[in-house]
Structure 1
Amino acid sequence: MAKVSLTEASLALGETSKVMAGLVERFGPARFGPKPAVGERFEVLSREIAYQQLAGKAAGAIWGRVREQTPEWVPDAVLSLGEEPLRGAGLSGAKTRAMLDLAAHCEQGSLDLARLGRLSNQEVIDQLTQVWGVGTWTAQMFLIFSLRRLDVWPVGDFGVRKGYGLAHGWTEPPTPEELEPLGDQFRPYRSVAAWYCWRATEV
């Protein structure tokens, strides 16, 4: 099967409903940014941990300070840092534990980030969520933005739910349970549909 571009996926989504067609017209083709190299996956996941449940600007400031703790962001260097520098840079105790556990799993070989691209979406989620503090949301963000999987539907993301509700003129966003089946119309490009839901929140 030929690889589908984000532009092709966006155009296909525009055919699914008038609401989606309007979002595609308003925001243009979806853009996911540069795809990280395989060797950057550990740093990408660490950054996602730092960003959990925080607004972008605040999370970016904390991650900037965390990243300055070592010139090379690799598992053994992070393990050598230990807890104190990470906490001192602004990470919560839970995020510090998660970041160190991620480094330990990678260093011990129980998590091989290089081979994740060969696994199914569910297998990737199963692999990543063995790390303490890494949940389905973090794994789904990795699938979408690092592995470029086009059919991930992150119903646990409040921005996706809020954007879907706003785009459809709802007074309240759908719950995760309500949103799950609503994504079926967007298969096999639910990741791209999620991108448009995020954009719909940008009033």
Structure 2
Amino acid sequence: MPEPFFQARAFLAGLDADWARHVAAVGPCLHQAKPTREPYEALVRAIAYQQLHARAGDAILGRFLGLYGSGAFPSPAQILASDVEQLRACGFSASKIVTLRGIAEATLSGVVPDYATALAMDDEALIERLTRLRGIGRWTVEMLLIYSLERLDILPADDFGVREGYRRLKGLAQQPTRKQMIEIGQALRPYRTVAAWYLWRVPTR
């Protein structure tokens, strides 16, 4: 049985010699989504990791989950009832705490949709809806689309790793801009998510 992303890998390898070499060197795409996570949970997790290295994000998220002790992800109501100083002690900044509370409130009011509703929504419609929330940018919603909703054609053009990966792949002196990356991404359709996965893995020289 072929790997889940066999067609995408073959498509990318067929683009040009640079892609062919890189895809061959990396091997099969091992991208793993987390489709069991509700959009609310995915957004809260994304805020924990925003602008941080993975290890720091892991530590903050671990302390945050430890506040509730049940093993289940805290509900929006639990977050709204949480003491601000306890959240600060987890490592969240004052700005991130405001964002967390905003996500919780928007979930209870229906602005943040449940999984089934989000799954049925158009990508851009979901991005437009969720980026109205304080502290939620396009990149955060794109991570939700990639990892929770399993979209295969998302290229986060703002992502440093994507742009730097493309620069190294092509031996460019400078990273492409966001606008240039969007244009470059047109040739990667309909497998832009898999392309991003491979660009995150272009080795440093």
TM-score by length of 1: 0.90
Q: Find the aligned partners of 1:76 and 1:157 in 2 and give their Cα distance.
A: 32
CA-CA distance at 1:82 after TM superposition: 4.0
Contact 2:8 2:191 in 1 (8 A): yes
Q: Is residue 61 of structure 1 aligned with residue 29 of structure 2?
A: no
Higher relative contact order (CA 8 A, sep 6+): 2
What's 2:107 paired with?
Answer: 106
CA-CA distance at 1:34 after TM superposition: 4.3
Unpaired segments of 5 or more residues in structure 2?
none
Residues 10 and 82 from structure 1, CA distance in 2 versus in 1: closer, same or farther, beyond 3 angstroms? farther
Letter in 2 for 1:105: A
Letter in 2 for 1:84: E
Letter in 1 for 2:103: L
Aligned length: 199
What's 1:21 paired with?
Answer: 20
Contact 1:51 1:60 in 2 (8 A): yes
Q: Find the aligned partners of 2:88 and 2:105 in 1 and give their Cα distance.
A: 17
Q: Find the aligned partners of 1:21 and 1:158 in 2 and give their Cα distance.
A: 22
What is the CA deviation profile of residues 42-97 of structure 1, one whole-angstrom value per residue up to 9, with x for unaligned ones? 22221111111111111111111112111332211111114222111101111111
What is the CA deviation profile of residues 105-127 of structure 1, one whole-angstrom value per residue up to 9, with x for unaligned ones? 11122222321000011011122
Residues 172 and 85 from structure 1, CA distance in 2 versus in 1: closer, same or farther, beyond 3 angstroms? same
Contact 2:167 2:175 in 1 (8 A): yes
Contact 2:139 2:156 in 1 (8 A): yes
What's 1:36 paired with?
Answer: 35
CA-CA distance at 1:130 after TM superposition: 2.4
Identity %: 36
CA-CA distance at 1:201 after TM superposition: 4.5
Letter in 1 for 2:56: A
Root-mean-square deviation (Å): 1.8
Letter in 1 for 2:111: S
CA-CA distance at 1:202 after TM superposition: 5.8
CA-CA distance at 1:198 after TM superposition: 0.6
Residues 116 and 90 from structure 1, CA distance in 2 versus in 1: closer, same or farther, beyond 3 angstroms? same
What's 2:80 paired with?
Answer: 79
1:1-203, aligned counterparts within 5 Å?
5-38=4-37, 40-70=38-68, 71=70, 72=72, 73-114=74-115, 115-201=117-203
3-state DSSP class of the match of 1:127?
helix
TM-score by length of 2: 0.90
Contact 1:159 1:201 in 2 (8 A): no
Q: Find the aligned partners of 1:97 and 1:130 in 2 and give their Cα distance.
A: 14
Residues 75 and 202 from structure 1, CA distance in 2 versus in 1: closer, same or farther, beyond 3 angstroms? farther
